[in-house]
Amino acid sequence: MVQNYKWISYNSRKHIPPFPPGPYGLPVVGYLPFIGSNLHERFTEMAHRYGPIFSLRLGRKLHVVVNSMDLVKVVTRDLDQTMANRSPPLAALTISYCGNDIAWSNSNTHWRKMRKILATQVLSNTNLKSCQSFRSDEVRKLVKLRSLHKSGDGNDSSTIGDGFGEVEIKIMKLVEAPNISDFFPMLSKLCTVAGYTTPKGTIVYMNVWAIHRDPKNWTNPLEFKPERFLIDKWDYHGNNFKFLPFGSGRRICPGIPLGEKILMYILASLLHSFDWSLPEDEEFELSDEFGLVTKKRKPLTAIPSQRLSDAGPLNFLIEDYLSIYSYC
């Protein structure tokens, strides 16, 4: 209360804009006891009450949530440099050597050098092209469903890959375990967003989940209509602020070039080779749960059945075709 009084007094003298509106919380813990586990849904509900930008305290930290494409543009473009830092939880600090990797490092010279090496060397078009045969081989193995049958003494590549995947999943769970709101951009200095003050150290959350379901941006957004993406040219590189699956600004996901090549190739090969169905008496549902990556609350189980007598993977050249198509 004393701190709030000091801020109000200082605010009045200096004519500094107020914080964004938001709910009251309890001493020490703030609004944490009331927030629940699915932050994206709770934040969307709060946006309906407080507006496209609101603030709340979770523990000792002030959080600002933006829920509109216009404000996301301000955060990721106009204030990109100011908003580009990170506030990693303890688990992330541990696995990233005190926040020294690309995901958790602050926006500094070290991060810029790492990002440049990743973009120009590891994920360059030349490198991805040279690795194409390895990706094609792995997709061929997947299409033959070898991955569903473990064999050997545990030293084969598929078993080792499974073990690596299990470790990766455990790491993700550890990172998600603390206060999930720690994952988002942190301000490096005081600034103003939509006429409201956001002090240095504020955690800023861009509620992309709400933007992707906003009827102002999408016609019937809750309907499953994949064909809507065939009508117009869709830019998912952070320039279309109503469609941000990989983020935007300088902290946009650096793995887009690899994802473009491998995800569509895998999906096209599986759809080409098999018919897919749900288990008997099971209904398809799309409820999700919050995390570092939002995922289905109930994992999808799909049963493949051979569609062609000589079912096999698509020719590996389709990877080039799909990459070209994604830019058209």
Nearest to residue 210, comparing CAs of 233, 184, 185, 241?
241
3-state secondary structure 141-191: HHHCCHHHCCCCCCCCHHHHHHHHHHHHHHHHHHHHCCCHHHHCCECCCCE
Task: Give yes or no for a contact between 34 and 48, defined as CB atoms under 8 angstroms apart.
Answer: no
CA 314 – CA 303 distance, rounded (Å) = 20
CA 27 – CA 3 distance, rounded (Å) = 12
CA dihedral for 254, 180, 18, 3, sign (positive or negative): negative
Alpha carbon separation from 95 to 111, 141, 182, 304 (Å, rounded)? 16, 31, 16, 37
Amino acid type, 42: R
Alpha carbon distance, N-terminus to C-terminus of the chain? 57
CA 107 – CA 85 distance, rounded (Å) = 5
Is there a binding annotation on residue 191?
no
CA dihedral for 206, 187, 172, 304, sign (positive or negative): positive
Task: Give yes or no for a contact between 203 and 63, defined as CB atoms under 8 angstroms apart.
Answer: yes
DSSP, collapsed to helix, strand or coil, labels residue 137 as: helix
Summarize the annotated binding site for heme as residue ranges: 253
Summarize the annotated binding site as residue ranges: 253
